[in-house]
A and B are shown apart, each in its own frame.
Chain A
């Protein structure tokens, strides 16, 4: 079946420094869309980024990600993190069956 792997369960970064959250995937489908969702404490997950185009960078709220089908990856990056970026981040894929599968999530903690 489809799977999404987020290798880091917890990432701690100092404010102002860059960060990359890893996301790799496995799927037998070729027509697939990819997402990053962010969840703040006691809130619902909400969409941060999405893409279905290979090798095209997508950006939102200072974060960016590029889908690389050659390496089955959709890593999330930010060049300068802020304290307010502290949250739980999920990578997800959606196949053309419509099913949305999430990784285990990465907790990002930004320290002053």
Chain B
């Protein structure tokens, strides 16, 4: 079990460019989450999929952020027209079940730096 895999681990983009972050959840896990982590905001919820269907995207900045899960083996988070305030560590997580006290496993994150 390789755990939740996120690529790339580090990404530097220029202001206004697009950034796509990739996540491969643990095989067999039905729930996939995206979070943004900064020193100021902590672990900020972005979006959540269950069985590939979007369940809750209440944390997503609507204009420039989008997330997809085209199949059960990967999810992408796309940020258009990146801004310096988008600089953060983006964490993907997955769990076996879609609810309850099932453990949620985190990837090591993608550190996005917008210059």
Which A residues are closer than 8 A to B by beta carbons? 1, 33-35, 43-47, 50-52, 90, 94-105
Contact = CB atoms under 8 A, between A and B. Distances in A.
Contacts of A90: 42-43
B90 to A, nearest CB: 12
B52 to A, nearest CB: 13
Contacts of B31: 98
Given A44-B106, A45-B91, A94-B100, A99 B43 contact: no
Contacts, number: 64
B115 interface: no
Contact of B48 (A35, A45, A51, A98): A98
Given A44-B91, A97-B56, A100-B33, A52 B101 contact: yes
B88 to A, nearest CB: 14
Interface in B63-101: 91, 93, 98-101
A98 B105 CA distance: 14
Interface residues of B, number: 26
Contacts of A94: 99-101, 104
Given A47-B104, A98-B31, A98-B48, A103 B109 contact: no
A102 B106 CA distance: 13
Contacts of A104: 41-42
Given A97-B56, A98-B55, A45 B43 contact: yes
* Interface hub of A34, A43, A94, A104 (most chain B Cβ within 10 A): A94
Contact of B101 (A35, A46, A102): A35
Given A44-B91, A44-B108, A94-B104, 9 more contacts: A44-B4, A45-B43, A46-B106, A51-B101, A52-B101, A95-B99, A99-B55, A102-B35, A102-B45
A105 B42 contact: yes
Given A45-B43, A105-B43, A99 B56 contact: yes
Contact of A97 (B35, B99, B101): B99
A43 to B, nearest CB: 7
A98 B109 contact: no
